[in-house]
Structure 1
């Protein structure tokens, strides 16, 4: 999927279209996705350590919100420099995506040990959007929500459910309940 899909979707919705790219050169995709109507652009720190400032400026220039993702084997501290840039007076990224599986394919098992990263981020940056992706569903959502995640990506648990709307409602309610108790 890419810019043509985003462009097609944008014609039919005002919804937030979050694009998460695990590619070797995310700069190549910023302009096409921005022009297509993407709302957010999440890149992986693992592929952008040398050019994240340029990447974030480019994302913002296209009217998208920048986010950064980290794989399970990446230390959470790797993303800390992206919050206080000497180039900009505001936080350069607006969301951190903590991968709770190894990126690559759907249906993997949720890695609860990744919730420590979520907890560290939530404590250090209380207003940050923290997203989790991988293995999220009815049996894991409370763990992610109580750790401090306020955004989730759910694929297999929603699309594989007999009643996807019920699963979406359950996931949303869990996140909202956890945010109210904090």
Structure 2
């Protein structure tokens, strides 16, 4: 019994060491390919570097230390921030295929949505090109857009009419927008 416990502990320790070494080598290889950026903390990444207004914090980091292209870890997601027009132009001309690709979430892959959805397929895939052609000819055709044009206009008229009928009262905006139906209450305001 005691020998089994020691074997289990030794196996867990060996697995932990192998996992740690694999993660550190892959992180080093990934870090070499990324642009410079602040050193991330475990789990939360660089979130603490972005205090206050995010655009001001990003501009400060770009101006003071890392230049117009920098890598940030936002939690477990790695983001590359481009903050100058010239660097943006270069990124979109040289790396447009990589920027057009989306990271496929595991839930989409497990449910089988990644292979059939235009959202998750790479733009070089023949299925994506076929789906794009179908959407362009049927969904976004001038006839389809003209047929659906009245729906948002009618909804806006309904909301304005609802507000006009309840002038001077406290109105539930969620009820006006979602037509009641047990929807969650969004906000209450007094119309004058």
| Interval of TM-score (by shorter of Structure 1 and Structure 2) | under 0.3
Higher strand share: 1
TM-score normalised over the length of structure 1? 0.27
Considering Cα pairs closer than 8 Å and 6+ residues apart, tell me whether 1 or 2 has the greater RCO. Answer: 1
TM-score normalised over the length of structure 2? 0.26
